[in-house]
Structure 1
Amino acid sequence: MAEKANQFGQFNLKKEVIDALSAIGFYEPTAVQAKLIPDVLQGRDVVGQSQTGSGKTHTFLIPILNQLEQDNEYVQAVITTPSRELAAQITKAMKEFSNQLNTDISISEFVGGTDKQRQIKQLENHQPQIVIGTPGRIKDLVESGSLKLHAVHTLVVDEADMTLDMGFLNEVDYIAGAMPEGLQTLVFSATMPEKLKPFLKKYLDNPHFEAIPVSTVIADTIDNWLLATKSKDKNDIIYQVLTIGNPYLALVFANTKERAKEISSFLRGHGLKVAEIHGDIEPRERRRVMKAIQNLEYQYVVATDLAARGIDIEGVSHVINDDIPAELEFFVHRVGRTGRNGLPGLAITLYGPDEENEVAELEALGITFKAKQIKGNEIIDVKDRRARVQRVATTKKLDSTMVGMVKKKKKNVKPGYKRRIKNAIQRKNQMDRRISQRQEMRATRKANKQRGEH
């Protein structure tokens, strides 16, 4: 049987690197890899705007290992990430890859919440060739004089927008400033905020900018469902979806920590064993929970977007969005947790009647949905989701007072809010009728009185 050809050979990589890629099952580059690896190998600065699941991690790992000077024991590449989980994920990928090269490559992971003094002692004896870590800890080690960055070839800033959001850009600025001129800088980001642009201008020299469209990173192995909540309790709907579907591993996303806690508590109260991942979970506990999830001790995980951006959980069969995320780009991060490596996946997004605009924006990004509803104990197709919207559009507009009432109600969406709004409208109409009747009666009495005077 002929050996499968490795398409990474088109990049003129070292033979041992191509063999290592084959050993870990990488034969065909993704869109972001095909577009950016040639430029990275030529030493150009690049900015890659791509989402989770697009293969961006190996877009920088492959060139770094291909160009590493294995006999030189100094720091040659630094990779910063905004979260400890993402640092661990990249370190794991780098070690799996480098282990196939049959040579000793020194890789160190430096993140907050670990023993800094121990790391300082280790650095006194030995400088790693590749550093992966969070900006705060790397900056601390550089500031103390322990980590030497004077000969670094490549700086990678991964998840740059999340780095900015979490307030770590100043630390990355400090780290970059400790590196030599002629540094190659690679920046990867899901979005490109304006506040990130001064950093790019400061450290990147005529970079190749490449945006990989959203449509290329939602795998066609994912079934993407849209489930109307109407006036039903969302906790009940999530429980129904989880128990109807019997997922291998389900990841439920909430927009806030408070909502994640509420969903977890509800599901546990109904007998499900649930793991929680959000900002209020201590790092040590989060690591323990992650290990337990990897060991398949949990079938259900409730998380905030931290998990979508910084944690790679294997074997997710179902993703459930409790709500459409405030940042629509996060939708792709969430959905990208399932349907990976050619496996089938199911993404179910719950939405209320006041979220049609958000759904339309996602559809404008090239995301397609299948409309569904729960009937009895099964999830069935909805013939035309837009029919209701069109009917609403043709109804009589509310007056300004009622518009205010409706908006006020919608700010705090709870079960039964549609009924309460409907009742409020009925009360307003009744009041309007009474006022109108009184005005007519007054007008009649006044007319009768005037006729009597004449």
Structure 2
Amino acid sequence: MTNQFGQFNLKTEIVKAIDGISFNKPTKVQKRIIPPIIAGRDVVGQSQTGSGKTHAFLLPIFNGLDPSLEETQAVITSPSRELAEQLYQAFRDFQKSLAAIDENFADLRIADYIGGTDRNKQIRQLERKQPQIVIGTPGRLKDFLSKNFLLVNQNRFFVVDEADMALDMGFLEDVDTIASAMPDNLQMLVFSATIPDKLTPFLKRYMKNPLIEEIPVSTVVADTIDNYLLATKSKDKNEVIFDLLTRKESYLTLVFANTKERVHELAHFLDSQGLKAAEVHGGIEPRERRRTMKRIKKQEFQYVVATDLAARGLDIQGVSEVINDDIPTDLEFFIHRVGRTGRNGLPGTAITLYGPDEEDKVEELEKLGINFQAKQLKDHQLIDVKDRNRRARRRPSQKQLDPELVGLVKKKKAHVKPGYRRQIKGAIRFKQMKENKVSQRTASRAARKAKKNR
């Protein structure tokens, strides 16, 4: 297939290097974002995970770099260590492809500065030479900038990736400090899945007449994903998840839970049942977390149990199934969880467990465009549920009644006595009249009191 990136007025060597990373056709976000970035505009790109936004800023940055200038020219901040490491790997992969075409890029220095790594070693490296591209987490970047270890007086690009996640994790103040250290003639690029109101003051403070591009996705989740909905009712969720994991052979299954405590509990339960499961959450010591991530990528685990924030940081190939231990409080995270499977046109399965008190959340997800198939687990198999909403549809007729009247309805016998229905209707009218009189008296008292206090 012909490389279509030539339409963006990228340098010839950049377009040729794109072939080396097996890209041919730009994604929707790349078509919308790359031209204004090359033109020098500040840009806010709002798009979902997996839309191709990394290369929407990576390519223009490489296009604008001067490899002969031994100064920091691009700084990219990412809220999690896993995401920062993924960005670092993407930049290194493209540099390798570009260096094969233009040897001037062979010695380009790309550094990743994240929490939990050897700070003193990084400081010594910075004292010798400044990297041309810097990728890091907010805390470490703020540290190096505040102590003048990292010099950004010649910096041209500042990228804030996953800005809404930085806000959620409490890092926006650090990102604010980093932005304030940048030179005035800076091009700033912000990428976020959502643009919360609390993010707006930050954008207005540092961005000059930004172009805001909201790139909608054609479907909320890939149409290659089967979304199954499983009511847990009174069943033990640990046992249900164990049953799901062992019902068939899976290449790699991710299980997501709302809290690190629940992740820890579930991972240990699975381990006690003989299933080798990795646990990934913010409470794990950084070095151990990196070791676990490397082992996951080496396919040493068939099962991974993680928190929502880890869902934004996991980019593992070959995920065949996702299981949601519960529905996330922030429904946006549901999209990120499910998006770990069904990638690159491959089939995937997402199974969401829910309890009776989560019907409202299920309905909200359905309004977002999630098409669930109701299932039940029977004899180690998932089978169809004919009508999940059947019981819910029967409920409103009684919910509309006053609790006192519900008692009357429940006393109804198989053979209804003459006048029984009329009796209930009369009781309902009498109850409503009493309530109306009480409301009127309350309103009259309030009016008299207000008049007296004037």
TM-score, length-normalised on structure 2?
0.85
Contact 2:244 2:380 in 1 (8 A): no
Q: Aligned match of 1:302 in 270, 282, 305?
A: 305
Residue 326 of structure 2 corresponds to: 323
Contact 1:45 1:186 in 2 (8 A): yes
Amino acid at match of 2:63: N
Residue 193 of structure 1 corresponds to: 196
Q: Deviations over 1:297-331 (max 9, x none)?
A: 11001000122112212221111111111000001
Distance 1:202-1:396 versus aligned 2 partners, 3 A rule: closer
- Alpha-carbon offset, residue 25 of structure 1: 1.5
- The worse-fitting range, judged by mean Cα deviation, of 86-95 and 54-63 is 54-63
Distance 1:218-1:202 versus aligned 2 partners, 3 A rule: same
Residue 261 of structure 1 corresponds to: 264
Amino acid at match of 2:276: K
Q: Secondary structure at the match of 2:305?
A: strand
CA distance in 2, matches of 1:34, 1:219: 20
Residue 49 of structure 2 corresponds to: 52
Q: Secondary structure at the match of 2:66?
A: coil
Residue 137 of structure 2 corresponds to: 134
CA distance in 1, matches of 2:248, 2:34: 40
Residue 375 of structure 1 corresponds to: 378
- Alpha-carbon offset, residue 402 of structure 1: 13
CA distance in 1, matches of 2:35, 2:404: 61
Amino acid at match of 1:93: A
Residue 28 of structure 2 corresponds to: 31
CA distance in 2, matches of 1:260, 1:241: 17
Contact 2:115 2:286 in 1 (8 A): no
CA distance in 1, matches of 2:166, 2:363: 29
Q: Aligned match of 2:60 in 56, 63, 67?
A: 63
Instruction: Say yes or no: does 1:83 pair with 2:86.
Output: no
Residue 384 of structure 1 corresponds to: 387
Contact 1:79 1:131 in 2 (8 A): yes
State how many pairs are aligned.
403
- Alpha-carbon offset, residue 259 of structure 1: 1.1
Q: Deviations over 1:65-84 (max 9, x none)?
A: 11111211111110001111
Distance 1:275-1:109 versus aligned 2 partners, 3 A rule: same
Q: Deviations over 1:32-67 (max 9, x none)?
A: 112111111111111112222111111111111111
Q: Secondary structure at the match of 2:283?
A: coil
Q: Deviations over 1:98-134 (max 9, x none)?
A: 1101222210111112222222221122111100001
Residue 273 of structure 1 corresponds to: 276
Contact 1:215 1:365 in 2 (8 A): no
CA distance in 1, matches of 2:123, 2:83: 22
- The worse-fitting range, judged by mean Cα deviation, of 206-215 and 131-140 is 206-215
Q: Aligned match of 2:362 in 359, 362, 370?
A: 359
CA distance in 1, matches of 2:218, 2:202: 28
- Alpha-carbon offset, residue 95 of structure 1: 0.5
Contact 2:160 2:189 in 1 (8 A): yes
Contact 1:273 1:298 in 2 (8 A): yes
Q: Secondary structure at the match of 1:244?
A: coil
Distance 1:249-1:197 versus aligned 2 partners, 3 A rule: same
CA distance in 2, matches of 1:214, 1:360: 20
Gaps of 5+ in 2: 100-104, 412-454
CA distance in 2, matches of 1:381, 1:210: 41
Contact 1:217 1:336 in 2 (8 A): no
Instruction: Say yes or no: does 1:8 pair with 2:5.
Output: yes
CA distance in 1, matches of 2:405, 2:114: 53
- Alpha-carbon offset, residue 214 of structure 1: 4.9
CA-atom RMSD in angstroms? 2.0
Instruction: Say yes or no: does 1:177 pair with 2:180.
Output: yes
CA distance in 1, matches of 2:220, 2:110: 29
CA distance in 2, matches of 1:402, 1:176: 63
CA distance in 1, matches of 2:340, 2:405: 42
- Alpha-carbon offset, residue 15 of structure 1: 2.1
CA distance in 2, matches of 1:402, 1:227: 34
- Alpha-carbon offset, residue 217 of structure 1: 5.5
Contact 2:227 2:351 in 1 (8 A): yes
Aligned ranges 1:77-226 → 2 under 5 Å: 77-102=74-99, 103-104=105-106, 105-216=108-219, 218-226=221-229
Amino acid at match of 2:223: D
CA distance in 2, matches of 1:402, 1:166: 49
Gaps of 5+ in 1: 404-424, 430-454
Distance 1:400-1:287 versus aligned 2 partners, 3 A rule: farther
Contact 2:219 2:369 in 1 (8 A): no
Q: Secondary structure at the match of 1:310?
A: coil
CA distance in 1, matches of 2:403, 2:186: 60
- Alpha-carbon offset, residue 370 of structure 1: 1.7
Distance 1:113-1:330 versus aligned 2 partners, 3 A rule: same
Residue 21 of structure 1 corresponds to: 18
Amino acid at match of 1:16: E
Contact 2:79 2:166 in 1 (8 A): yes
- Alpha-carbon offset, residue 383 of structure 1: 2.2
Q: Deviations over 1:325-369 (max 9, x none)?
A: 100000111011111222221111111222221112112112212
Residue 244 of structure 1 corresponds to: 247
CA distance in 1, matches of 2:217, 2:329: 17
Residue 427 of structure 2 corresponds to: none
CA distance in 1, matches of 2:26, 2:114: 30
Amino acid at match of 1:92: Q
CA distance in 1, matches of 2:294, 2:405: 52
Distance 1:352-1:55 versus aligned 2 partners, 3 A rule: same
Identical-residue share of aligned pairs (%): 63
CA distance in 2, matches of 1:311, 1:244: 25
Q: Secondary structure at the match of 2:194?
A: coil
Distance 1:147-1:265 versus aligned 2 partners, 3 A rule: same
Amino acid at match of 1:279: G
